[in-house]
Structure 1
Amino acid sequence: MCTVTYLPVNNGYFLTSNRDEKTARPTLKPELYCTKNGKWIYPKDMIAGGSWIAVGEQKARCLLNGAMENHLPNTKQYKRSRGQVLLESLEFKDDRNFIEHVDLSETEPFTLILIDNTNKKFYLELKWDGKRKLVHELPINVPRIWSSVTLYSESIIEGRRAWYAKWLSSEVIQAEKMLEFHLFKHTDNSFENVLMERNNGDLKTVSVSQIVRYKDHSYFKYLDLLDNSQINHQLNPTELCIQDGQ
């Protein structure tokens, strides 16, 4: 939820996310869940009950903390988890309808990426700064990297953009190579690395999630960096799913 890359490829894209979080925060590994808008695969935060990344049969979602700039948190004001906002978006067939109707008045600032695979021109980026919803149409054929403004300064974010541009110019475009970018130590400074670590290891990259969209199929890969486990899941319309009670 803190470093995300989007990479278009022939007949699809890769959407990859590093979750930088306190190691003590418990998480459920990805499962297949039922919603009124179809089946979705996502991991789940056990404290707030939300998620930071999800893939459906025709859509994908990814969340980052913060909007345009770092903010001073007001915990008394925030009564709703940002991850719950992502899960609410799964219930809407139309992304713009979700953006128009979702109530964010008691939600901390965030950035939400909403991809609809049926749209061949652009996907949506929703930024909530605590007062306004800001929506951008981003072209599907342009690579992009996001870094959470709550953890990284603008200079660090610019440095990461440079790392990404350099990687794109030198690497073969494959899903596994994209994972390597998210797992690689681009600098000796663990404070600003894509694979980050701070506070003597109490805050670090705890997992990497990757959505691969290829032709008409969606795949979800989840690397748990705390227990060194891996989950690979193809979205199968006939598979039985969990009725989520969010």
Structure 2
Amino acid sequence: MCIVSIFSKDNGDFLLTHNRDESRLRPFSDQVQTSEYDQKKWTGPVDWVSGGTWIYYSEKFAACILNGGYVKHSHRPPYRMSRGLLILELLRYDSIDQFSSAVDLEGIEPFTMMVASMNSTEKKILVWDGSQRFVEDRSAEKLIVRSSTPLYTVEEKSVHFKSFDELENPTPERVFELHDRLKMLPNNQFETVQTTSITQISHLDHQTDLKFCPIQI
């Protein structure tokens, strides 16, 4: 899973849009919920298998997670904690840096986690390859695009970035439409895997909205 884009402005406004590429057999909520984790409220869809999520926002953060790091890895369960719960561990910390340096990642399947601050222009990416963590500071970038390494080739990732980079007037509607055009359809290469939902967090003019669209194909 997945394709993610983040469009940012100098005033801290941002659009975070996420295609979840997952087995269509994996159950998840068909509505957004507001729940608590470590007594902190978060809003997003719920993965019924892990009890966690793949994208959410809270008072301090907006975050999403993708399968895999920089290179493809072998799936070797059991894992200590689902990545759907790992992403919620961020709520235990006061800052992105504290989380990135202190969270225990041993026994966690490789992932790429993208986090945007709700109160500043800070945006960082935490990558875990199964043995080492990497933190990328992308705060100064107007556009960030990531595609899941297990599902997409280098060439496909390049096409994704170019598509978003060439998008004129990236309004929430236009960005969402582009994500819809790039969604993964049922295919022979990954059997049951397809884009099962598109989620967009818009943080504009001090107001946050979440649009969640499950996809049935």
- Structure number with larger C-alpha Rg: 1
The 8 Å contact of residues 147 and 157 in structure 2, kept in 1 or not, is answered as: yes
The 8 Å contact of residues 7 and 142 in structure 1, kept in 2 or not, is answered as: yes
Q: Which one-letter code corresponds to 2:200 in the other structure?
A: Q
Match among 176, 180, 196 for residue 206 of structure 1: 196
3-state DSSP of counterpart to 2:99: helix
Q: Provide the TM-score with structure 2 as the length reference.
A: 0.90
CA shift for structure 1 position 22: 1.2
The 8 Å contact of residues 6 and 17 in structure 2, kept in 1 or not, is answered as: yes
What root-mean-square deviation, in Å, do the aligned CA atoms of Structure 1 and Structure 2 show?
1.9
Stretches of 4+ moved more than 3 A in 1?
35-38, 198-201
Match among 170, 179, 197 for residue 173 of structure 1: 170
CA shift for structure 1 position 199: 3.9
Q: Which runs of 5+ in 1 are unaligned?
A: 185-193, 228-246
1:40-73 per-residue CA deviation (whole Å, 9 max, x = no partner) reads: 1011111122211011123100101111011122
The 8 Å contact of residues 20 and 204 in structure 1, kept in 2 or not, is answered as: yes
Once the two structures are superposed, the pairs formed by residues 52-63 of structure 1 within 5 Å of their partners are 52-63=54-65
Q: Which runs of 5+ in 2 are unaligned?
A: none
CA shift for structure 1 position 127: 0.3
Within 1, Cα distance between the matches of 2:163 and 2:192? 25
Within 2, Cα distance between the matches of 1:105 and 1:35? 21
1:234 match: none
CA shift for structure 1 position 75: 1.7
1:100 match: 101
Q: Which one-letter code corresponds to 1:159 in the other structure?
A: V
CA shift for structure 1 position 224: 1.2
The 8 Å contact of residues 105 and 130 in structure 1, kept in 2 or not, is answered as: yes
CA shift for structure 1 position 91: 2.4
CA shift for structure 1 position 128: 0.2
1:197 match: 185
3-state DSSP of counterpart to 2:138: strand
Q: Which one-letter code corresponds to 1:3 in the other structure?
A: I
Q: Provide the TM-score with structure 1 as the length reference.
A: 0.80
Q: Which one-letter code corresponds to 1:22 in the other structure?
A: S
Count of residue correspondences: 213
Q: Which one-letter code corresponds to 1:175 in the other structure?
A: P
**Higher deviation after alignment, 88-97 or 125-134:** 88-97
3-state DSSP of counterpart to 1:196: coil
The 8 Å contact of residues 65 and 150 in structure 1, kept in 2 or not, is answered as: yes
3-state DSSP of counterpart to 1:88: helix
The 8 Å contact of residues 37 and 93 in structure 1, kept in 2 or not, is answered as: no
**% identity of equivalent residues:** 30
Match among 213, 223, 234 for residue 213 of structure 2: 223
